[in-house]
């Protein structure tokens, strides 16, 4: 099945170090996730950080309860990190978060998500109808929250 790519950018008027610190703290993921997903972190405190960190979540996708496990696959302090789904609803979920300085002292947040639905042809149909729209909705929610947090 074909890999899909979703890309989002957002500029915020805060320094890169502050923005990276927020995004690299896994406890903040609940704040950035829409309430309709009923997202909860199951990994006990203190939450690990950096390359090799593994996280377990619980969420609901279209009403179906699911577990999601992600691995921080790569980490460059202050610049970027990548999480990859190890267990969850996708055949592939690979999310790179990148942070770039802006000339005015702000930060540009780059998100690149590579994903693939499970179940072959059926997954392609689901992707065409639901997944892309769901991912767009999740990132629209996230951008609103980020705008409020970093204004």
Q: What is the mean pLDDT of residues 128-139?
A: 86
Q: What is the pLDDT of residue 1?
A: 61
Query: Which tens digit of pLDDT belongs to each residue from 68-112?
Result: 999 999 999 999 999 999 999 888 999 999 999 999 999 999 999
Q: Do residues 119 and 126 touch, judged by C-beta distance below 8 A? A: yes
Q: Where are the domains of the chain?
A: 4-149
> Which residues lie below 8 Å from residue 114, measured CB to CB, with a gap of 6+?
3, 4, 5, 92, 93, 94, 95
Q: How far is CA 142 from the centre of its chain?
A: 9
pLDDT > 80? residue 135: yes
Query: Which tens digit of pLDDT belongs to each residue from 33-56?
Result: 999 999 999 999 999 999 999 999
pLDDT > 90? residue 62: no
Q: Which CATH number fits domain 4-149: 3.30.559.10, 3.30.530.20, 3.40.50.300, 3.40.50.10800?
A: 3.30.530.20
Q: What is the pLDDT of residue 36?
A: 93
DSSP state of 33: S
- Whether the pTM exceeds 0.95: the reply is no
Q: What is the mean pLDDT of residues 16-39?
A: 95
């Amino acid at each position: 099945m074909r890999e899909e790519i979703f890309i989002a950018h957002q500029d915020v008027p805060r320094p890169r170090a502050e923005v990276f610190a927020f995004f690299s703290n896994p406890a903040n993921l609940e704040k950035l996730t829409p309430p309709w997903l009923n997202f909860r972190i199951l990994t006990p405190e203190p939450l690990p950080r950096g390359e090799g960190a593994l996280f377990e979540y619980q969420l609901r996708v279209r009403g179906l309860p699911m577990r999601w496990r992600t691995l921080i696959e790569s980490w460059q302090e202050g610049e970027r990190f990548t999480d990859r789904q190890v267990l969850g609803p996708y055949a592939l979920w690979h999310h790179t978060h990148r942070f770039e300085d802006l000339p005015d002292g702000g930060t540009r947040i780059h998100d690149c998500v590579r994903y693939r639905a499970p179940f072959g042809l059926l997954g392609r149909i689901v992707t065409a109808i639901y997944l892309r729209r769901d991912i767009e909705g999740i990132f629209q929610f996230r951008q609103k929250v980020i705008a409020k947090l970093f204004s």
